Amino acid sequence: MTLNSQILGQLEQQAIELPSWAFANSGTRFRVFGQPGVPRDPFEKIADAAQVHKVTALAPKVALHIPWDKVDDYAKLRNHAEDLGVALGTINSNTFQDEAYKFGSLAHSDAAVRQKAIDHHFECIEIMNETGSQDLKIWLADGTNYPGQDDMRGRQDRLTESLAKIYERIGENQRLVLEYKFFEPAFYHTDVPDWGTSYAQVVALGERAFVCLDTGHHAPGTNIEFIVMQLLRLGKLGSFDFNSAFYADDDLIVGAADPFQLFRILVEVVRGGGYGPDSGVAFMLDQCHNVEKKIPGQIRSVLNVQEMTARALLVDRDALGAAQQAGDVLTANSILMDAFYTDVRPALAEWRESRGLPADPMEGYAESGYQQKIEAERVGGEQAGWGA
Ligand code: AOS
Ligand code: ZN
Ligand code: ZN
């Protein structure tokens, strides 16, 4: 099995959005570990993200998080990104760090708190207008810890109302994407726990509202590729937050915990028309690099996505369809497994070199001297925001 020119052409169009927060210090609820050379402001986060794109040609956009990436002049930030060969991507809102949001934000029982959260999203939309961003991504920490703590039905109704107000402000060329998560920080119920709830909410909003699927936001054993298939079938898969998980929302390097799961997801993405610049599906990463270095961590991540996309594109669709039609279970399964077990790395390395990129981007970055430079120059880097 080889990566023919048609597959390479498809791979050339791959664009993965990097999260600005992956470059900042991060940790767990137990400790935030500082690393030398981490960015001190959003400008430096973008400079680091641009390094990932430079050695891979895979990461032309950087997703921002408000308020972690708040600046006085977004046009300046946009120009800075463009000068470095990248663009500003999705704007992520944050309604989970204020004291006011202790009992929720868009679903809160107090209208004043809901309005505060809605206003924050209005501010995010204004920022999108300046940064040229297309997507507003909403992930909510809303939920309860104890049965009876609040009325789940009332919360769902209020969420619908709040989202409608935000959606009204979204521009013609902008989209709202609603992320779901089955638990955490709330442990009894979460107001947007699953794809079905997110789907119901975005369908009620309209055609520019979509679901964001974070691969780490499912119970262990969930068939995530089924959800991918269903959302593509319904025309409502807006974006991915890629990462990998051994247990819950681990935010580890995509493809690290379960490469086969990433393959199965990408097979459904390709099957369902979710791959490519016109598919309407944004490939984003949502990761933290707590113990490994951040820029190499992001390089490894985008390469994992590229390698697994190549394998998904290698699946012999015609042969698979014929085997499925004939009820030939084992042939159908082996067609899929043949693609999964194909080592595409040498072919990708060769192809990279032919395009003037380092055959091994990890090595290319290590040899660039950038890491030594930032470690020497930057003192007092930022926390991503969680421990702040
Ligand atoms: C939280 O668990 C979600 O995955 C969010 O997408 C994200 O990690 C957070 O909003 C940081 O932007
Ligand atoms: Zn996420
Ligand atoms: Zn998450």
Rounded to two decimals, the ipTM of the complex is 0.96
User: Of all protein residues, whose CA lies closest to atom 5 belonging to ligand 1?
Assistant: 139
Determine the atom of ligand 1 nearest the C-alpha atom of 92.
12
Give the Å distance between the CA of 103 and the centre of ligand 1. Answer: 18
Q: Does residue 69's CB lie within 6 angstroms of at least one atom of ligand 1? A: no
The domains found in the chain, sorted by start residue, are 11-315 (3.20.20.150)
Burial 87-126 (b: 16+ CB within 10 A, else e): bbbbbbbbbbeeeebebbbbbbeeeebbebbbebbeebbe
Strand partners, 62: 18, 88
User: CA 272, CA 276: separation in Å to the nearest integer?
Assistant: 11
| pLDDT, average across residues 4-22 | 98
CA dihedral (247, 56, 7, 234) in degrees, to 10, reads 50
Digit-coded pLDDT (tens) for 225-271:
999 999 999 999 999 999 999 999 999 999 999 999 999 999 999 99
Residue 386 confidence class, pLDDT cut points 50, 70, 90: low
| pLDDT, average across residues 63-84 | 98
User: Of all protein residues, whose CA lies closest to atom 7 belonging to ligand 1?
Assistant: 286
Q: Does residue 65's CB lie within 6 angstroms of at least one atom of ligand 1? A: yes
Determine the atom of ligand 1 nearest the C-alpha atom of 96.
10
Residue 121 confidence class, pLDDT cut points 50, 70, 90: very high
Determine the atom of ligand 1 nearest the C-alpha atom of 212.
6
- Closest Cα to residue 62, out of 53, 72, 70, 54? 53
Which mutation among 26, 92, 182 tests ligand 1's pocket best, with the greatest number of atoms within 8 A of CB? 92
pLDDT > 60? residue 45: yes
Give the Å distance between the CA of 287 and the centre of ligand 1. Answer: 9
Strand partners, 244: 252
Tell me phi and psi for residue 98, to 5 degrees: -85, 150
Using an 8 Å Cβ cutoff, are 114 and 121 in contact?
no
Q: Which runs of consecutive H residues, i.e. helices, occur in the chain?
A: 5-12, 42-56, 74-83, 111-131, 152-169, 195-205, 224-233, 259-271, 294-314, 317-325, 329-341, 345-354, 361-368, 370-377
Q: Does residue 249's CB lie within 6 angstroms of at least one atom of ligand 1? A: yes
Closest-approaching ligand to the CA atom of 288: 1
Q: Does residue 179's CB lie within 6 angstroms of at least one atom of ligand 1? A: yes
Closest-approaching ligand to the CA atom of 137: 1
Give the Å distance between the CA of 59 and the centre of ligand 3. Answer: 20
Which mutation among 192, 214, 251 tests ligand 1's pocket best, with the greatest number of atoms within 8 A of CB? 214
Q: Pull the structure tokens for residue 181.
A: 């998560």
List residues, by chain if needed, whose CB lies under 5 Å from ion ligand 2: 214, 241, 286
Strand partners, 27: 32
Residue 317, helix vs strand vs coil: helix
Backbone dihedral region for residue 369 (phi beyond 0: left; psi -120 to 50: alpha; all else: beta): left
Determine the atom of ligand 1 nearest the C-alpha atom of 137.
6
- Closest Cα to residue 180, out of 269, 240, 243, 109? 240
Using an 8 Å Cβ cutoff, are 189 and 152 in contact?
yes
The pLDDT value recorded for residue 384 is 73
Query: How high does pLDDT run on average in the chain?
Result: 97
pLDDT > 60? residue 33: yes
pLDDT > 80? residue 163: yes
Tell me phi and psi for residue 209, to 5 degrees: -120, 135
Give the Å distance between the CA of 337 and the centre of ligand 1. Answer: 32
User: CA 59, CA 54: separation in Å to the nearest integer?
Assistant: 8
The pLDDT value recorded for residue 302 is 98
The pLDDT value recorded for residue 388 is 42
Q: Does residue 135's CB lie within 6 angstroms of at least one atom of ligand 1? A: no
Q: Does residue 218's CB lie within 6 angstroms of at least one atom of ligand 1? A: no
Using an 8 Å Cβ cutoff, are 155 and 191 in contact?
yes
The pLDDT value recorded for residue 387 is 46
Closest-approaching ligand to the CA atom of 141: 1
* 381: exposed, middle or buried (Cβ count in 10 Å: 0-12, 13-18, 19+): buried
The pLDDT value recorded for residue 378 is 95
The pLDDT value recorded for residue 338 is 98
Tell me phi and psi for residue 368, to 5 degrees: -70, -20
Share of the chain above pLDDT 70, in %: 99
| pLDDT, average across residues 122-133 | 98
